Homo-oligomer: A and B are copies of this chain.
């Protein structure tokens, strides 16, 4: 079945995300990931052409989690403040749900290229970069709009943009999921961060 195939793939992706998260994507080996699955290299290389391709798949999945969730919000034609608050809240909540993936992403926020990458892997990376740009622009548009209407203080758009986005990603660095009150706790964190994100723009 095609269903069985994608299921096996996402299982690999989940395991890879966890290993990359814990050891770092450079240190974690394919064997480590396979061991987590109770499998061997063969399974992984059957689905992914290289370690770089697997890593890119993890990063792409991470950004698509967020992009799919936040994109529908931007066109609700409310005030910029409310729209931004909505976007921020949704962003944080989704990140907390898919934490390992975003830990991996942040490891590569600045790392440009590994030592030797193939053309194919470079293509994957540029596709990820494109999606990231797309997502960034959602916020850039809201910020510009809000500064025009006077809802937001006029600041350097680039400084404000990156600062807010990184603040929304900050739980990635410190959040540790607990069983107790999990859902409620996440919502509270998302609310607070969304509040702060809006507050620092006024």
A199 within 8 A of B: yes
Most buried by B among A23, A110, A193: A110
Q: How far is the CA of A195 from the CA of B200 in the complex (A)?
A: 8
A26 within 8 A of B: yes
Chain B, residue nearest A155 (CB)? B192
Q: Which of A124-180 contact B (CB under 8 A)?
A: 155-156, 158-160, 162-163, 166-167, 169-174
What chain B residues lie within 8 Å of A2 (beta carbons)? none
CB <8 Å contact, B159 and A163: no
A107 within 8 A of B: yes
A interface residues, tally (CB under 8 Å)? 41
Q: How far is the CA of A195 from the CA of B188 in the complex (A)?
A: 25
What chain B residues lie within 8 Å of A106 (beta carbons)? 110
Q: Which of B192, B200, B201 contacts A156 (CB 8 A)?
A: B192
Q: Which of A13-50 contact B (CB under 8 A)?
A: 21-24, 26-27
A202 within 8 A of B: yes
A5 within 8 A of B: no
CB <8 Å contact, B109 and A192: no
Q: How far is the CA of A21 from the CA of B112 in the complex (A)?
A: 10
CB <8 Å contact, B24 and A173: no
What chain B residues lie within 8 Å of A197 (beta carbons)? 200
CB<8 Å pairs between A and B, sample of 13: A23-B111, A23-B115, A27-B114, A110-B172, A156-B189, A159-B189, A159-B192, A159-B193, A160-B196, A163-B193, A166-B173, A167-B167, A197-B200
What are the nearest 8 A-B pairs in CB distance? A200-B200, A26-B26, A166-B170, A196-B200, A199-B200, A162-B174, A167-B167, A163-B170
